[in-house]
Structure 1
Amino acid sequence: MPPQTATVLHPPDLPDLNPEFATQVLEGLSAHPKRIPSTWFYDHRGSELFEQITELNEYYLTRSETALLRSLHDEFAQLPAGSAVIEFGSGSSRKTPLLLGALNAPASYTAIDISGDFLRQSVRGLQLRFPQLDVHALEADFTAPLHWPAALEADVRQQPRIGFFPGSTIGNFTPEQAVRFLHGAAQFLGPGAHLLVGVDGTQDKAKLIPAYDDARGVTAAFNRNLLTRINRELGADFNAQAFRHVARFDPAHSRIEMHLLSPRPQTVRLLGQSFTFAEGETLHTENSYKYPLAMFQRLAQSAGWTPQKHWLAADTDVALHWLQR
């Protein structure tokens, strides 16, 4: 059943209300089942918590992909000099130095992320680490159509372009959404560009569930922080601790799902509307699709990319794919 059309009211005590955020939350809470796009996880606190997740023992993905990037240092060094590196969903840019440090005299780096404060903080660190590099920050939702700032586009178009999309963030998209993103990235980067994408193809439930429901409860705090953000920015009255974090593996769709489960009936109010949760009802907050090698290559080809190479981590099903436009 499709969600109802949302009516967004602007209370006087929320003058800076983000209408897109409000619309998607209202529509998601009106839907059956209830859901909210995972894009909204990443306020400043959400970005901090995600960085903590990547350091957990259970979260194999970051560890495997980082080792893989390090192992490819000499191969990246053979790429043409003077490249422009463009990172989608840059976050803390923790893996970025592994690529920038391996490339032969890269000319520029552009970080794209929806979390502005976190983005600017990360970019400052990279400017200090690579003082010879032109570093730019583009605060934008990389899942939507992107446009170059006029002052930057002319320079970047003259440089060899390398898109960078690590962390298996592509797994946040359904196959249809992944194709749309890859097609949009191709349009944004332009003809002749390359794209380096991290992709997780893990299907082992025994490895997946702990990675998304860790013993320390960091992922649970990350999930609940979405409710805290809704309270702060939309004036809602969620009791975040009254919802239980749940991670499930759906083998039919090859994805991990994250939910917030209401163990008892409760009603939530925001922006002049009320939403009731039944006992056991969940709010679906994230999907993490796991794309095996051949499946991802088919998606990339359908979006206009040509798979050229791929590298697989030694101990997991984490891969890096090198695509050409």
Structure 2
Amino acid sequence: MSPLAVTRTLPADATTAALRADVAHGLTRTPKQLPPKWFYDARGSDLFEAITALPDYYPTRAEREILISRSADIAAATGARTLVELGSGSSDKTRHLIKALTGLHTYVPVDVSESALAAAGEALLAAHPELTVHALVADFQQGFALPGTPGPRLLAFLGGTIGNLLPDERAAFLRSVRDLLAPGDALLLGTDLVKDEATLVAAYDDAQGVTAEFDKNVLNVINRELGADFDPDDFRHVAVWDTEREWIEMRLRARRELTVKVPALDLVVPFAAGEEIRTEISAKFREEGVRGELGAAGFELREWWTDEAGRFALSLSVRT
């Protein structure tokens, strides 16, 4: 079995510094906002796994359906010898790709969580002892360099995560991905598609309240890491479809007028009754829009696959 290599590009205190900066900026601006990456401590990750199993939350199942049915086509189209996955987490869905990529030499999972990378890497090596796994502890929005690995490369960004980025952030991100790749390398991108409002809102505001607990978990993270005194019960989870921008917004709405203290930042944050913190956007896409954004960043869209119900898409593009 090949050893698991782990390269850390983030300083040991990078996560704490980023949280401090995001909270200081986000809770003092109008309207208030926090980046969705702070949902995902251990509890938040468990809650998200529970969300993916809910009847109304279709994206994970839809994407897995496409991967199972199209992995052989992806392998044939790319001939990838290196697979890079951004935000790899447990690498669960990627296993279908790894199995199909018969010429694969190296898998490069990229994530901010070293423990998640180590666990997923060891599990993959147990199943594929011939594979080289070079895990990279990095924030894909902050810029990083890939290890030297054989080409052609296939870079996967799954889960519809690109929808959490604002349009200018998406453009910058796609340009940075292009800079990581050589001409002829490929990008596999997961995008959730525009559909009726009721289906979208139900996916982000389930009747069981799991998504509400997930949304409020960001407050628990701030309490634990920065000594804040948020009471999650003071806030109500809200999911809203923005028809003009074609994205879902998750928000936490104050149930009453209140004040929150964040001692680590020497910060006092007032909330009016009904005031909201935007905790996530989740943009939904159309094929022509994805093609345009990829083209502007230097990619040519070659394949477009959806699940049988047409809810979610995987696109395969080539770096020009």
User: TM-score with structure 1 length normalisation?
Assistant: 0.89
Alignment of 1:176-255 (within 5 A): 176-255=168-247
2:270 pairs, out of 267, 276, 298, with 276
1:237-273 Cα shifts (integer Å, max 9, x gaps)? 1112221111110010000000011110111111211
Say whether residues 1:311 and 2:290 are aligned partners.
no
Match of 2:17 in 1: 19
Say whether residues 1:142 and 2:140 are aligned partners.
yes
| Amino acid in the other structure paired with 2:171 | V
Structure 1 residues 242 and 119, CA gap change in structure 2 (3 angstroms): farther
Contact 1:161 1:189 survives alignment (8 Å): yes
Structure 1 residues 52 and 77, CA gap change in structure 2 (3 angstroms): same
Corresponding residue SS for 1:215 = coil
Match of 1:75 in 2: 73
Contact 1:91 1:113 survives alignment (8 Å): yes
How many angstroms apart in 1 are the aligned matches of 2:159 and 2:15?
30
Match of 2:285 in 1: 291
Contact 1:203 1:254 survives alignment (8 Å): no
Corresponding residue SS for 1:300 = helix
**How far apart are 1:189 and its partner, in Å?**
2.6
**How far apart are 1:116 and its partner, in Å?**
2.7
| Amino acid in the other structure paired with 2:159 | G
Match of 2:29 in 1: 31
| Amino acid in the other structure paired with 2:101 | L
How many angstroms apart in 2 are the aligned matches of 1:221 and 1:119?
25
**How far apart are 1:159 and its partner, in Å?**
2.0
Structure 1 residues 35 and 80, CA gap change in structure 2 (3 angstroms): closer
Match of 1:55 in 2: 53
**How far apart are 1:16 and its partner, in Å?**
9.4
Corresponding residue SS for 2:154 = strand
Residue identity over aligned pairs, in percent, reads: 40
How many angstroms apart in 1 are the aligned matches of 2:294 and 2:179?
13
Structure 1 residues 119 and 225, CA gap change in structure 2 (3 angstroms): farther
| Amino acid in the other structure paired with 1:272 | D
Poorly superposed stretches of 4+, deviation over 6 Å? none
Contact 1:309 1:323 survives alignment (8 Å): yes
Corresponding residue SS for 1:145 = coil
| Amino acid in the other structure paired with 1:130 | H
1:172-217 Cα shifts (integer Å, max 9, x gaps)? 1122211111111111233321011011112311110110011221
Corresponding residue SS for 2:107 = strand
**How far apart are 1:42 and its partner, in Å?**
1.9
Root-mean-square deviation (CA), in Å? 1.7
| Amino acid in the other structure paired with 2:112 | I
Structure 1 residues 77 and 26, CA gap change in structure 2 (3 angstroms): closer
Alignment of 1:68-217 (within 5 A): 68-79=66-77, 81=79, 83-148=81-146, 153-154=147-148, 156=149, 158-217=150-209
Structure 1 residues 16 and 160, CA gap change in structure 2 (3 angstroms): closer
Corresponding residue SS for 1:226 = helix
1:141-167 Cα shifts (integer Å, max 9, x gaps)? 11121223xxxx23x1x3210001111
Say whether residues 1:322 and 2:316 are aligned partners.
yes
Structure 2: 5+ residue stretches without partners? 1-12
How many angstroms apart in 2 are the aligned matches of 1:64 and 1:265?
41
User: TM-score with structure 2 length normalisation?
Assistant: 0.91
Structure 1 residues 17 and 116, CA gap change in structure 2 (3 angstroms): closer
Contact 2:78 2:152 survives alignment (8 Å): yes
Match of 1:12 in 2: none
How many angstroms apart in 1 are the aligned matches of 2:124 and 2:15?
31
Contact 1:242 1:262 survives alignment (8 Å): yes
How many angstroms apart in 1 are the aligned matches of 2:198 and 2:190?
21
Contact 1:61 1:318 survives alignment (8 Å): yes
| Amino acid in the other structure paired with 1:256 | I
Contact 2:80 2:153 survives alignment (8 Å): no
Corresponding residue SS for 1:72 = helix
Say whether residues 1:267 and 2:256 are aligned partners.
no
Q: How many residues align?
A: 305
Structure 1 residues 84 and 17, CA gap change in structure 2 (3 angstroms): closer
| Amino acid in the other structure paired with 1:207 | T
